[in-house]
Chains A and B, each alone.
Chain A
Amino acid sequence: DGGITQSPKYLFRKEGQNVTLSCEQNLNHDAMYWYRQDPGQGLRLIYYSQIVNDFQKGDIAEGYSVSREKKESFPLTVTSAQKNPTAFYLCASSVGLAGNEQFFGPGTRLTVL
């Protein structure tokens, strides 16, 4: 079955540590996205990538970094510079940047202690 996998589902880290969230898709989609979801707020775009080896900052990129070395993978690193990293992180992909549907993974809930 095609889809998007994110691992792990729950992640705990100590303050000051960097942490990398995994996102893999086997839909053969070119575009991939990372969103952050906080209670009572909509999704906010962190980074997106149209194609391998290229990515763009979204609305709240500060304190985050990404890479896109393979079409299938778009890992997100939450760095110690992110002031409030505890949140639910969602990865998505679409056929192209202009694709009219984004497919979402199940999400990773990150808690920084």
Chain B
Amino acid sequence: GNSVTQMEGPVTLSEEAFLTINCTYTATGYPSLFWYVQYPGEGLQLLLKATKADDKGSNKGFEATYRKETTSFHLEKGSVQVSDSAVYFCALKVSNFGNEKLTFGTGTRLTIIP
């Protein structure tokens, strides 16, 4: 089956630090990969995505590269801000007609300290 394994949190960093949140996956077929972000008390927002191997998704200073050889999609940001404090979810979807479901990781809570 399909599964996503995320780095366990919580993660606490100082402002302007470098961020990496690890994500690896297992999938039958060729998945699309996503990072979603959830701010306190809100629903999820799509942060970035990649639909094929070697694609790089980027948004708001965050980046993630689809690595088929290591089945990974690690999230990175060069300099985090207090406003980046949130829960981050890695997810995948494998196109399988009639069964197009997102599979989520458990989420990683990130706290940025001023």
A residues apposed to B, CB below 8 Å: 4, 6, 40-45, 48, 58, 90, 92, 97-98, 100-107
Contacts and interface: CB of A to CB of B under 8 A. Distances in A.
B46 interface: yes
Majority DSSP secondary structure for residues of A touching B: loop
Given A40-B106, A41-B107, A42-B89, 12 more contacts: A43-B89, A43-B102, A44-B104, A90-B44, A92-B43, A97-B100, A100-B49, A101-B46, A104-B36, A106-B41, A106-B43, A107-B41
Nearest to A99: B100
Interface residues of B, number: 24
Contact of A107 (B43, B101, B105, B106): B43
Given A41-B106, A98-B95, A104 B101 contact: no
Interface in B19-76: 32, 34, 36, 41-46, 49, 51
Majority DSSP secondary structure for residues of B touching A: strand
A77 B45 CA distance: 24
Contacts of B43: 4, 6, 90, 92, 104-107
